[in-house]
Structure formats: C-alpha cells, structure tokens
Amino acid sequence: PRTIFSGIQPTGVPHLGNYLGALRQWVKLQDEASSDTTLIYSLVDLHAITIRQDPKQLRQWKKDSLAMLLAIGLDPQRSIIFHQSDVPAHAELMWILSCQASTGYLGRMTQWKDKTANEKDGSEKSKLGLFSYPVLQAADVLVHGATHVPVGHDQAQHLEFARQLANGFNEAYGKNVLMPPETLISPAKRIMSLTEPDKKMSKSHANPKSRILLTDSDDVIRSKIKSAVTDSYEGISYEPERRPGVSNLIDIFYHSGESVETESQVALAEHMAGLSLRALKEEVAMAVVEVIRPIRERYESFVRDEATLDAIAEEGARKAVASAAVTMTDVKRAVGLV
C-alpha cells in the first residue's frame, strides 16, 4: 500500500508554478490511485507563519487555498485534505525530530541561505522557525508514514533531509518506526518568475506581475505574459542558461499544452523558431488561459460556499488526526515517552 503526502502553504493564491510543478500531479495521483493508496494533502499553515503574516489575511488565505484544492480537482471523498494546525501531532513529532536534527546540516539548506542571504551574522531578523522549517516538513511527511511525496524541484533537498532524519531515528532507536519517503518530482521542475526569470515563481515574491495566479482573468494572464522579461537575441530558442526568460515561456507552453509526452522543449522551440517574441507570447498566453479558465471558474463557486469548506476541513482534520496517531504511538513508545 502507498501513502502519498504533500503540502502547500496558504501564503497566497496558488500560481501557475505551483500548479504545473506540484498541484497538477496531486490530482493525477489521486485520479490514478488504486484502492490501497491513501492520499493526504495539507494546507501547511504552521509553515506559513515562519514569515510574519497578518492574522486576518492568513485566515482568508487558508479558506481560499482550500477552495483552490477543490477547484483543481481534489476530491475530499478520495483524498484527506486538512489544515496542518488542526493536527497537533505534526508539531509534536517535529519536537522529537528536532532532538535528532543537526544544526550544521540545516544551516546548509539552500532555502535558509537564500532567505537570510541579506542579513549579517547574529541578525535579530533570522528566526528559529525559519531555520528549523525542514524539520517540521520532515514531521509532516513522516507522521503519516508517507511512501511518496510529490513536490516541486525546490523541495527535493528538504525531502532528502527527511529521509536522513527517518533513517537516523530508526538507527538510534533500533526499530523501523519511521518510513523514509520517496520524492516524486513533477516534469515541470521549476517555473520561473516572469519579471526575474533567474528566480522561481513564488507566492511570496513582492511583485504580483512575477506570477500568474490560478484566479487571474484571461486578460490579466495575457497582459502579464505580454510584459514578461525576455531578451534581445534573434529568434526563438530553448537555452535556459543564456535565455532564461524565453526558455521559461517555452517551458510554460510545453507543460501547458497537450504535447507533453511527444516533444521536447528544444523541439518545440525549433518548431516556433520563425515566430517573433510577441507571437510566442501570444501562443503561450492562449495555452495558459485554457489551463487556468476551468480552474478559476470552479474556484469562484467553491470559495463562496463557506459552510461546505468548513465541513470539508473538519472532516479532513478528523481523518488526519487518526492517521497521525498511528505513527505517534510507535514513536513515543520507541523513545520511551510511554
């Protein structure tokens, strides 16, 4: 039997990168799962507060994100969908794993280094929660005994850390209590920012034009793609190092289209070599509009139905609490806490 676990932070409306890099795969895994597969998807609100959030805004984003998970096609009858903070075992296992986790290893994590790059040593700004974030992420996955974790490329390093923690724990306590999970990376590894194509598209980036939201109207999508940063080289080609902006547009087109299994990005670029940048952008915008429109329309109806959203969250929490309890009993016994 397989257990699939993944999470998304309720730090804003999910964007095209989240969808192509992670969420689309969540739905695919759900729709293709056999009956002995358990699917668990979390809105990881405890992760969201590693960066200061406005409480009112966070509450709203939690609702919006839940509506979005339904809009993309997750089915609460089939998948457990819940808010992380409704299941205290995540934080509890995090503490136990923290007593195993090496601070040196955590300090070398790219995401930590990126987010604190502009701070001097000993800065008051760096918070312990942001530093230990990967331990909570490990707990998320391990507390449900996940065997497979679909994430975007930016999370691969954190999952390697989760495997090491699981193996370390099992060795220390001489039992196979925690399951080291496998990473499933989506074919759309990393969708880049439209305004700074050397950075990944992110919910939390300051510039709203850097990302296409799954709630954007057709016109907004077209205008964001039209103003995407490219370059002044001749023609169209797929060269991510030399031409990050153009290559990102080709990536987006490739993963938004139907041709995913038949052509490579390079072949696709050759196919379009004669187009102007403007025409390329129009093609890309058309494909993206088709991907997002049905999601946006479903979202608009789900997000209005607060009673249903609350009921789904409650039911998801109940199931997730039960799932986590199985591992926590074993962990506490192994450590000597019970």
Residue pointed to by tokens 């040196």: 104
- Between residues 140 and 285, which has the closer beta carbon with respect to ligand ATP? 140
Instruction: Name which of 8 and 138 has its Cβ closer to ligand ATP.
Output: 8
DSSP state of 175: S
Q: Based on CB atoms, which residue is closest to ligand ATP, 136 or 177? A: 136
Is the Cβ of residue 132 or residue 328 nearer to ligand ATP in the bound state?
Answer: 132
> Which among 11-19, 250-258, 260-268, 291-299 is the span making contact with ligand ATP, rule CB under 6 A?
11-19
Other beta carbons less than 10 A from residue 67's beta carbon: 23
**Quick one: 229 exposed, middle or buried, by C-beta within 10 A (0-12, 13-18, 19+)?**
middle
Does 22 participate in binding ligand ATP (rule CB under 6 A)?
yes
Minimum Å distance from CB 273 to ligand ATP?
A: 26
Which of 191, 236, 285, 331 contacts ligand ATP by CB under 6 A? 191
Annotation says 209 is catalytic = no
Asked if residue 9 binds ligand ATP (CB under 6 A), the reply is yes
Q: Which of 288, 33, 251 is nearest to 153 (CA)?
A: 251
* Gap between the Cα atoms of 231 and 244, Å rounded: 9
Paired tokens of 158: 């954190």
Indicate whether 25 belongs to the interface with ligand ATP (CB under 6 A): no
> Whose Cβ is closer to ligand ATP: residue 90's or residue 177's?
90
* Continuous H helices in the chain: 16-18, 24-32, 45-48, 55-71, 89-98, 103-107, 110-115, 128-142, 156-173, 218-226, 244-256, 265-271, 277-304, 306-335
AA identity, residue 224 = K
Count interface residues toward ligand ATP (CB under 6 A). 19
281 binds ligand ATP (CB under 6 A): no
Q: Minimum Å distance from CB 69 to ligand ATP?
A: 11
Nearer of residues 8 and 269 to ligand ATP, judged by Cβ:
8
Minimum distance from residue 83 beta carbon to ligand ATP (Å): 14
- Whose CA is closest to 224, among 208, 237, 246, 247? 208
For residue 115, indicate whether it is catalytic. yes
Whether 263 and 254 have beta carbons less than 8 Å apart is answered as yes
Tell me the C-alpha distance between 44 and 129, whole Å: 14
Cβ within 8 Å of residue 46, ≥6 positions away: 84, 85, 90, 91, 136
Mask for 202-231, x = binds ligand ATP (CB under 6 A): xxx---------------------------
**Part in contact with ligand ATP (CB under 6 A); list of ranges 15-23, 66-74, 88-96, 236-244:** 15-23
State the nearest-atom distance from the C-beta of 22 to ligand ATP, in Å: 4
- The SS3 assignment for 88 reads coil
User: Is the CB of residue 5 less than 8 Å from the CB of residue 37?
Assistant: no
The catalytically annotated residue of 203, 226, 281, 319 is 203
- Interface characters, 149-168, with ligand ATP (x: CB under 6 A): --xx-xx-------------
Distance of alpha carbon 272 from the chain centroid: 31
Residue 248 touches ligand ATP, criterion: CB under 6 A: no
Hey, which residues are catalytic here? 115, 200, 203
Per CB under 6 A, residues contacting ligand ATP are 8-9, 11, 17-18, 21-22, 151-152, 154-155, 188, 190-191, 200-204
